[in-house]
A and B are shown apart, each in its own frame.
Chain A
Amino acid sequence: MSQRSVPSAASAPPALHHAGPDPGAPPRLQLKGISKVYPTVVANDRVDLAVRPGEIRAILGENGAGKSTLMKIIYGVTHASAGQMLWEGREVQVANPAHARRLGIGMVFQHFSLFETLSVVENVALALPGRPALGELAQRISEVSERYGLPIDPRRHVHALSVGERQRVEIIRCLLQNPRLLIMDEPTSVLTPQAVKKLFETLRQLAAEGCSILYISHKLDEIQALCHTATVLRGGKLSGECIPAEETPQSMARLMIGKELPHCEHSAAQAGGEVRLSLAGLSHASLTPFGTDLKDIHLDVRAGEIVGIAGVSGNGQQELLRVISGEETLAEKFPVHICGVEAGSLRPGARRRLGLTFVPEERLGRGAVPDLSLTDNALLTAARGQQLVTGGFVRFGRARAFAERCIAAFNVKCGGPGAAAKSLSGGNLQKFIVGREILQAPRLFVCAQPTWGVDVGAAAFIRQSIIDLRDRGCAVLVISEELDELFEICDRIAVIAKGRLSPSRPAGETSVEDIGVWMSGLWPGSALMQAATPAYAEPLDV
């Protein structure tokens, strides 16, 4: 997948695979001939699946293969059009998630299912039976979060959390229910390597105690490290089963997409392009309680290069992105320059007119309006740049044509430009949004978690598109928690920790180890280095 061979934090000693489930045990959950038909697509087509006590089974497949749909059927979020589900040998029809939880099924969703206006502890309380005392529950959350290496403050409000932190809440909420079948739909897509490592230890321990786990991920090295068995879906149908430990990532990718993985071409950056984004001593107090204040940030991004910002989620990435995009404006203009213009107090529309396009980390609800069609969602940010509006009236023909271009160019699987954004699978919506922002030919492209939830084939494609964009002379800023990804596409890498930004280093002259240490705030000359106080995240031990 990556050119540089970056050691993955997820790799585990192969010995663990011997501690698999008892192959003779009767399955805890068995699906027989499950189908789900949507008006435009057959999301699941006669799928069989069985998982035994203590088994960790991976569900693999491209974006839109029907993985989430199948899991939602098990959890009672949607209902199968046909087929049978057996729970511990008995046929059940799961009416709703509460019913599933009573059976002992827990699920971590790909798109978060938290109430934004409530605090973490209140959200957890809602998923538990009865009425737990909040004080006690907060205590338990802190314990569990510490034990499993998923730091979270139970009193914080969910709307103020980054996606990485929200994911931790989802996982903790699920673990507190002591499930006997745990469904995890891409739980690690925005977790840091060390959090992934701890999560895997937890999952292995749960499995050893007899819990069954269904695990969806696009990260094949994780699957190899964690899962005993794998079921592969393609186009809604069962396309095969395998033992991940006996496969290579390449062979599994072949099973999933039916062809060889594409390969990223990455030539050296052009030197000496003009500065398109410049942050000059940017400081900004977070508008949300418990948010991270930005402190004295300096950064230049030049035309023709890709700069990456690494860091543990919740260290100021959100605030930084909002200040760059204009969703939060500053009182003064000078700290932010976009394409040579002082832009600190300009609003998002004005910044787009200067040539900025932006992919936010939340796709549903921020990057796209869930209930509106893809045509309407194309209109959301491309109205001006693509001349989709004349005389105040929308030219729906043009908007539709632009949406169709995004769909075709980024190979988005959907029911056409009229499909509602929320009907797309996670990875396909991500491709659509990235496509919409790249096809506007930006002068400055800012992207958070560019390949979050995207399958291996599409991830390679998106990375290549970003590199091609750079080669056409665009300045690119990528914020990601995936170090592999940053090392694969970036020319320079900086680290954000506790609201401060490290100096950047050419990607070729640094390593995952160095960046891991920097992620705790300890870079040469940093304020923390001088004060020598421990930071939010521990250093990465690779």
Chain B
Amino acid sequence: MFELEARAEPSRLMSWLSPLLAVMLMLGGGVLVFWALGKDPVEGFRVFFLNPLKDFYSLSELLLKATPLMLCAIGLAIGFRANVWNIGAEGQFMLGAAAATGVALYFDGSDSSLLLPVMIVAGALGGAAWAAIPALLRTRFNANEILVSLMLVYVAQLFVSWLVFGPWKDPDGFNFPQTRMFGDAALMPALLEGTRLHYGFLLAIAVLIAGHAFMNRSFAGFRMRVAGAAPDAARYAGFSAARMIWVGLLLGGAAAGMAGMAEVAGPMGQLTDKVGSGYGFAAIIVAFVGRLNAFGIFLASLLMALLYIGGEQAQQYLNLPSSISMVFQGMLLFFLLGADVFINYRLRLRRRAPRSH
């Protein structure tokens, strides 16, 4: 009945409509999921999607959740635009968190106002250092960065576990796998009185703006765009492919590392073995739903934060497992990839092909 017909040119409009379409389909799919689990779909929808938006405090929680997503996603987008596929932001996030924690513990008791900036830098360096491994292996040995960065996530997880079960374990912590709580000077100050929203959100906005400027205004960002769009043209112009890989991975790692720092110095206040809560993976979805564009990423991270909080709400009020939010994330990415087909193709009614003899 229907057939896909190639468009003469990719549709700009569709590239922005496609995320919206994916969101609609995800909502529709969500209703089906609630119904299949024997919950009232209307109630499920209200709890999952409206509760997180119902008051001032809920909104501040939404921004809080969106903060690490924004940071990770903008860093990833820079690499993705140049076809550098860093899948391991989750690991870079954990290493950033660990590095920032190291600084906080070393200067425990200090009340210097320099402590937070130093932790931010340490977080960025920690994340970048972790991302440097796939960059090095890729440029030296042509090892696929997708696999290497992904596998390093599990190494990072084990490394953090070792820290909190071993040398950094809180001596007064009843043997829980966690460090001491940070001192006040090592904690992000609250942004709004009475909420958990902290200065990390402003950091994320600043990084978004910087990322936008880098991608669209700087010559380095231009080179990355060329490398992604036409590798032969990049070689012809003399843009070094190895440099793109380094820049893409290091910036992505640094942003993820900062997100990890903002997490331990923000809502967590300490390092635990649960520090990685999937932000690094969710950020991949955020980057694509946001069309690898700073403003799009801002909106997409709010959406993704909504899914996280909605999942918690569903757990609390509907007795559903919190992994329901993973289901929604999965549906979102799935529908987005599907809807993206319409950027390059249009759907049309099949006419009977004229017979040829």
A interface residues (Cβ-Cβ under 8 A, vs B): 77-79, 87, 90, 92-93, 95-96, 99, 102-104, 325-327, 347-352, 358, 360, 362, 365-372, 376, 379-381, 383, 389, 392-394
Q: How far is A393 from B215 in the complex, measured between Cα atoms in Å? A: 10
Contact indicator A362/B230 (Cβ below 8 Å)? no
Contact indicator A380/B233 (Cβ below 8 Å)? yes
The minimal Cβ–Cβ distance linking B79 to chain A, given in whole angstroms, is: 18
Name 9 interchain pairs, CB-CB below 8 A, sorted by A.
A93-B351, A95-B348, A326-B238, A348-B236, A350-B238, A366-B233, A370-B230, A379-B222, A380-B237
Contact indicator B353/A392 (Cβ below 8 Å)? no
The minimal Cβ–Cβ distance linking A15 to chain B, given in whole angstroms, is: 34
Q: How far is A393 from B213 in the complex, measured between Cα atoms in Å? A: 9
Q: How far is A351 from B240 in the complex, measured between Cα atoms in Å? A: 14
New A-B contacts (13) at CB < 8 Å, excluding given A393-B213, A393-B218, A393-B219: A95-B5, A96-B5, A102-B353, A347-B238, A347-B240, A348-B238, A358-B236, A360-B236, A362-B232, A367-B233, A372-B229, A376-B222, A381-B236
The minimal Cβ–Cβ distance linking A433 to chain B, given in whole angstroms, is: 10
- B229-268 interface with A by 8 A CB criterion: 229-230, 232-233, 235-240
Q: Evaluate whether A394 and B237 lie within 8 angstroms (CB atoms) in the complex, with A362-B232, A366-B232, A369-B230 already known.
A: no
Q: Evaluate whether A365 and B237 lie within 8 angstroms (CB atoms) in the complex, with A90-B354, A372-B225 already known.
A: no
Q: How far is A404 from B218 in the complex, measured between Cα atoms in Å? A: 21
Q: Tell me whether B217 is interfacial, beta carbon within 8 Å.
A: yes
Which of B5, B8, B226, B351 is the one whose CB lies under 8 Å from A369?
A: B226
Q: How far is A382 from B225 in the complex, measured between Cα atoms in Å? A: 16
The minimal Cβ–Cβ distance linking A420 to chain B, given in whole angstroms, is: 9
The 4 closest A-B pairs by CB, nearest first: A348-B238, A349-B238, A366-B232, A369-B230
The minimal Cβ–Cβ distance linking A291 to chain B, given in whole angstroms, is: 15
Q: How far is A367 from B3 in the complex, measured between Cα atoms in Å? A: 36
Q: Tell me whether B137 is interfacial, beta carbon within 8 Å.
A: no
Which of B5, B218, B220, B229 is the one whose CB lies under 8 Å from A371?
A: B229
Q: Tell me whether B175 is interfacial, beta carbon within 8 Å.
A: no
Residue of B nearest to A102 (CB): B356
Q: How far is A372 from B223 in the complex, measured between Cα atoms in Å? A: 12
Complex contacts, B6 vs chain A, CB 8 Å: 96
Complex contacts, B3 vs chain A, CB 8 Å: 95
Complex contacts, A368 vs chain B, CB 8 Å: 233
The minimal Cβ–Cβ distance linking A392 to chain B, given in whole angstroms, is: 5
Contact indicator A327/B235 (Cβ below 8 Å)? yes
Residue of B nearest to A326 (CB): B238
Residue of A nearest to B230 (CB): A369
Residue of B nearest to A116 (CB): B232
Residue of A nearest to B225 (CB): A372
The minimal Cβ–Cβ distance linking A397 to chain B, given in whole angstroms, is: 12
The minimal Cβ–Cβ distance linking B8 to chain A, given in whole angstroms, is: 5
Residue of B nearest to A77 (CB): B8
Contact indicator A87/B354 (Cβ below 8 Å)? yes
The minimal Cβ–Cβ distance linking A281 to chain B, given in whole angstroms, is: 25
Q: Evaluate whether A99 and B218 lie within 8 angstroms (CB atoms) in the complex, with A348-B238, A365-B233 already known.
A: no
Interface residue total, chain B, C-beta cutoff 8 A: 27
Residue of B nearest to A396 (CB): B217
Contact indicator B238/A394 (Cβ below 8 Å)? no
Complex contacts, B220 vs chain A, CB 8 Å: 392
Q: How far is A351 from B238 in the complex, measured between Cα atoms in Å? A: 9
Complex contacts, A93 vs chain B, CB 8 Å: 351
The minimal Cβ–Cβ distance linking B180 to chain A, given in whole angstroms, is: 42
Q: How far is A496 from B220 in the complex, measured between Cα atoms in Å? A: 38
Q: How far is A393 from B218 in the complex, measured between Cα atoms in Å? A: 4
The minimal Cβ–Cβ distance linking A370 to chain B, given in whole angstroms, is: 7
Q: Evaluate whether A327 and B236 lie within 8 angstroms (CB atoms) in the complex, with A92-B354, A95-B351 already known.
A: yes
The minimal Cβ–Cβ distance linking A42 to chain B, given in whole angstroms, is: 15
Contact indicator A365/B230 (Cβ below 8 Å)? yes
Q: How far is A77 from B8 in the complex, measured between Cα atoms in Å? A: 7
Q: Evaluate whether A392 and B238 lie within 8 angstroms (CB atoms) in the complex, with A78-B8, A369-B233, A370-B230 already known.
A: no
Complex contacts, B351 vs chain A, CB 8 Å: 93, 95
Q: Mark B89-126, 1 if CB is under 8 A from A, else 0.
A: 00000000000000000000000000000000000000
Complex contacts, A352 vs chain B, CB 8 Å: 238
Contact indicator A365/B354 (Cβ below 8 Å)? no
Complex contacts, B237 vs chain A, CB 8 Å: 348-349, 380-381
Contact indicator B356/A394 (Cβ below 8 Å)? no
Complex contacts, B233 vs chain A, CB 8 Å: 365-369, 380
Contact indicator B230/A348 (Cβ below 8 Å)? no
Complex contacts, B226 vs chain A, CB 8 Å: 369, 372, 380
Q: How far is A392 from B220 in the complex, measured between Cα atoms in Å? A: 7
Q: Evaluate whether A369 and B229 lie within 8 angstroms (CB atoms) in the complex, with A93-B351, A327-B235 already known.
A: yes
Residue of B nearest to A347 (CB): B238
- B310-329 interface with A by 8 A CB criterion: none
Q: How far is A270 from B232 in the complex, measured between Cα atoms in Å? A: 36
The minimal Cβ–Cβ distance linking B285 to chain A, given in whole angstroms, is: 24
Complex contacts, B238 vs chain A, CB 8 Å: 326, 347-352
Complex contacts, B213 vs chain A, CB 8 Å: 393
Complex contacts, A358 vs chain B, CB 8 Å: 236
Q: How far is A352 from B236 in the complex, measured between Cα atoms in Å? A: 11
Complex contacts, A370 vs chain B, CB 8 Å: 229-230
Q: How far is A312 from B184 in the complex, measured between Cα atoms in Å? A: 75
Complex contacts, B229 vs chain A, CB 8 Å: 369-372
Contact indicator A365/B218 (Cβ below 8 Å)? no
Complex contacts, A393 vs chain B, CB 8 Å: 213, 217-219
The minimal Cβ–Cβ distance linking A41 to chain B, given in whole angstroms, is: 14
Residue of B nearest to A370 (CB): B230
Complex contacts, B348 vs chain A, CB 8 Å: 95
Complex contacts, A379 vs chain B, CB 8 Å: 219, 222
Choose among B5, B219, B237, B353 the residue with the greatest number of A CB atoms under 10 Å from its CB: B237
Q: Mark B1-38, 1 if CB is under 8 A from A, else 0.
A: 00101101000000000000000000000000000000
Q: Evaluate whether A104 and B356 lie within 8 angstroms (CB atoms) in the complex, with A327-B235, A365-B230, A394-B222 already known.
A: yes
Which of A78, A362, A369, A389 is the one whose CB lies under 8 Å from B219?
A: A389
Q: How far is A218 from B86 in the complex, measured between Cα atoms in Å? A: 47
Q: How far is A87 from B236 in the complex, measured between Cα atoms in Å? A: 44
